[in-house]
Amino acid sequence: MLLKLFKGTGPGVIFLIFITFGLLWISAFLDPRLPGLYVFETRPMPLYSVIKFLLGSHPLAGVMFSAGILSVMLVLLVNFNTSVFFINERTFLPAVFYVLFCAIFPGNQVLNPVLPASLFLMLAVRRIMDSYRKQGTAFNFFDAAVFISIGSLLYANIIWFGILVFIGIALLRSVNITEIASSILGLATPYILLFGFYYVLGRDLDILIQDIRRNFFVDSPTYIFTRLTIVALIYSALMLLVSIVYLMQRIDSKKIKSRKTFYILLWGFVLSLAVYLILPPVSVEQVWVTAIPVSYLLTHYFVFVRRKIVPEIMFTVFYLLVLLVQVL
């Protein structure tokens, strides 16, 4: 019954999402905390430094900022499917799954650079898909690369998703040297402007370079997983596995644009896992990024699976598990 309510498209669903958002974030507002001693906090990237300066050391202000950015992200998630229509059904489920999946880690509900950086990644994916069947050279890839590069000035390791731009070129277009070159230029442009800005103002470039290097290579503190968090992660991983298998069995029957969109999302998921597993500074904050493709993959399964009772039970258990993680 719970899944049926969230699968609707009326104003009542928006109200339910708002209620879920409130239930999952109420503890963050009632007991706001300062972020942990991760490298992106101790040696913040330039744009994130500006945000920290503007918000000061007030934890509640940080929670409010993150909740506001999350609200914008939910709108973008729903609107992306509405514009590209790759799931072939209007639904608010991507927003629901994004809120739930990210809430598995309550410690992330503080001021952090990954959430706003993820927003720029979402904008980049939209620009990549806008290039589909565009005549001539598509400068959408330049725009997408710029968005990703700006995001990396908040959270450095978003830059690795620049690979997604080149995957998009390979999937959506005939290989075009101009588009490849413009994408590389797009990734470089924000950094060229940043270094030029530092040089003009007489700021120490060595410190900037050291901060960037640390954000790429210095270990972050080890995250301690509770038993309930592990259970929730295992359960969500099983749901995701079922969703991916279900998608791959049907992907060849989809329209070309829908198929390519799902391939971009699958590549985004693979990149996200690789960044988490390989890079020392990356920890559970990566969930804000991973949840983007995961939300769409889960949505596809729960929208189209014909059996009603099994997905209803799966969704309800997941919903209650996440609430339990927040309570305990």
Question: pLDDT over 70 for what percent of the chain?
Answer: 99
pLDDT of residue 135: 75
DSSP string, 266-297: HHHHHHHHHHHHH-TT--GGGHHHHHHHHHHH
With bands split at pLDDT 50, 70 and 90, how would you rate the model's confidence at 195? very high
Q: Is 182 exposed, middle or buried (0-12, 13-18, 19+ CB in 10 A)?
A: buried
CA-wise closest residue to 101 among 287, 299, 326, 311: 287
Alpha helices (runs of H) in 31-139, residue ranges in sequence order: 39-42, 46-55, 59-84, 93-102, 114-130
With bands split at pLDDT 50, 70 and 90, how would you rate the model's confidence at 56? confident
pLDDT of residue 44: 93
Rounded to whole angstroms, how far apart are CA atoms 294 and 315? 14
Window from 99-108, 141-150, 216-225, 245-254 with minimum mean pLDDT: 216-225
Rounded mean pLDDT of the chain? Answer: 93
- Secondary structure percentages of the chain, helix, strand, coil, to 5: 75, 0, 25
pLDDT of residue 308: 81
With bands split at pLDDT 50, 70 and 90, how would you rate the model's confidence at 8? confident
Residue 262 parent element (H or E) = helix 256-278
| Every domain of the chain and the residues it spans | 2-327
With bands split at pLDDT 50, 70 and 90, how would you rate the model's confidence at 292? very high
CA-wise closest residue to 21 among 111, 95, 118, 108: 95
* Other CB atoms within 10 A of residue 252 CB: 7
pLDDT at 288 over 90: yes
With bands split at pLDDT 50, 70 and 90, how would you rate the model's confidence at 228? very high
**Residue whose entry in the numeric block shows the structure tokens 């620049």:** 162
